[in-house]
A and B are shown apart, each in its own frame.
Chain A
């Protein structure tokens, strides 16, 4: 059982982490050369126009006033409008549009790392010093050594261009059109309705809480889309589109997940080898328990703790790796946008994106902490 005090302490620690990241981002952006107004208005803008833009954006204010204003905005996650990349669009909207793409890619990469890396690590440990073990270890070493900017184009060349197994770019087939109309009504007819569980909200003493209610869906009911194609296609009941989305996502996810898979399998192997030598494992076998049951029932959970730590830390690398992968595969996620925003000195967009990345990373690590304190309650001490 995970104690509330432990979780609360970890949640409170998010505040200094985000404050630190925010301050660093603000300071680094302020130190960077270039005037955002010059970029917004172009090289032909008059000095009067530039001056007006600087005043409008509040860049004329003393730096500490800008800093306090930024902290206030960051506390409410309200970063204002993008200067250049998504001109005039609130940063929140830009993030809501682009972030799911990157998260989907990172999650698929992570899933690949977990579902391939853990079994490979266990297999390698159980069959120590056999051909299987040697092959897995060589594979893991290669996976760790290969950078994304090399593996991406090579896999595209091999699996897309030569073999034609996977598409080279995009998120879904070009002939598939997704709107937020529920697919079942194209079969049932638009005048029919379906009962379905729905997340509604209720306000109790000024606090809005979510709850699940049963509503009557009609063809007019807009589907609550997440921005992640694989999930949205399932919500809409478009299984053909789901297949196409997975088909398109497989290669980028594999590229981003290679390093993760290699690292997780290596970690799982060494952790499992250590656990296998423990007295309780020998005792379990001595009591007549089968080798497979001993490994999976007693060894797996204990060997998982360091692996989960690696998985949590890896998520940050996956978000970083998404920048390169999105560029190689032409996926319009937050990574490519962040690079453009830095180039255009789009302060609000860069600050909002980096803080969102930091929040995601710390939340994932909080999840990791909670998971391994569940696996081994002594960690809470």
Chain B
């Protein structure tokens, strides 16, 4: 068991959860803003007569971010340790770690989910 997992076992649930929630929610807030901006941009610049098309475009982009993030996150868990071992074995110091990858992918997922919410809110308001 790695040192991070050992410390995770010792931590109370709230303390374990807080940084993770902060990571995803922080990215989601940025995503909401990006979703609003993207919807408005598509509506004003690309599809001025068709709000539903503009929101579909913006929603699809946010969904791509969410899909990519979730897939990358699970991929990091699935194969991350293996890649770390392989790097160690091949003696290639790229500084890529499973934990970093997981965090980055969680952030992208949060951003995508936030973007989707931003699109829904903007379309409903408009």
Q: What residues of chain A have their CB less than 8 Å away from a CB belonging to chain B?
A: 10, 13, 16-17, 19-28, 30-31, 62-64, 67, 309, 365, 381
Contact = CB atoms under 8 A, between A and B. Distances in A.
Contact of A28 (B64, B66, B77, B78): B64
B120 A64 contact: yes
Interface in B67-126: 67-75, 77-78, 82, 116, 119-120, 123
B21 to A, nearest CB: 17
Nearest to A67: B63
A64 B66 CA distance: 13
Contact of B71 (A10, A21, A28, A365): A21
A17 B63 CA distance: 14
A23 B120 contact: no
A20 B1 CA distance: 28
A33 to B, nearest CB: 11
Contacts of A10: 78
28 contacts: A13-B74, A13-B78, A16-B73, A16-B74, A17-B74, A20-B66, A20-B67, A20-B70, A20-B73, A20-B74, A22-B67, A23-B64, A23-B66, A27-B61, A27-B64, A28-B60, A30-B56, A30-B59, A31-B57, A31-B61, A31-B64, A62-B123, A63-B56, A63-B60, A67-B59, A309-B82, A365-B78, A381-B1
Interface residues of B, number: 27
Given A64-B120, A381-B1, A30 B71 contact: no
A24 B55 contact: no
Contacts of A27: 59-61, 63-64, 67
A60 to B, nearest CB: 8
Q: Would you list the 10 A-B pairs with minimal beta carbon distance, nearest first?
A: A20-B71, A24-B67, A23-B67, A27-B63, A20-B70, A16-B74, A63-B56, A27-B60, A31-B60, A27-B64
Nearest to A28: B64
Given A62-B55, A62-B123, A309-B82, A23 B70 contact: yes
Given A16-B71, A24-B68, A30-B60, 14 more contacts: A17-B75, A20-B67, A21-B67, A21-B71, A22-B67, A23-B63, A26-B67, A27-B59, A27-B63, A30-B63, A31-B60, A62-B52, A63-B56, A67-B63
B108 to A, nearest CB: 11
Contacts of B57: 31
Contacts of B60: 27-28, 30-31, 63
Contacts of A16: 70-71, 73-74
Nearest to B65: A27
A316 to B, nearest CB: 13
Contacts of B74: 13, 16-17, 20
B12 to A, nearest CB: 22
Contacts of A23: 63-64, 66-67, 70
B27 to A, nearest CB: 16
A70 to B, nearest CB: 10
A283 B77 CA distance: 37
A26 B73 CA distance: 19
Contacts of B119: 64
A13 B79 CA distance: 11
Contacts of B70: 16, 19-20, 23
A289 B81 CA distance: 36
Contact of B116 (A22, A31, A64, A309): A64
B56 to A, nearest CB: 4
Q: Which of A13, A31, A64 has the most CB of B within 10 A?
A: A64
A13 B80 CA distance: 13
Contacts of B61: 27, 31
Contacts of A31: 57, 60-61, 64
Nearest to A358: B71
A63 B61 CA distance: 12
Contacts of A309: 82
A205 to B, nearest CB: 33
A20 B64 CA distance: 9
Contacts of A381: 1
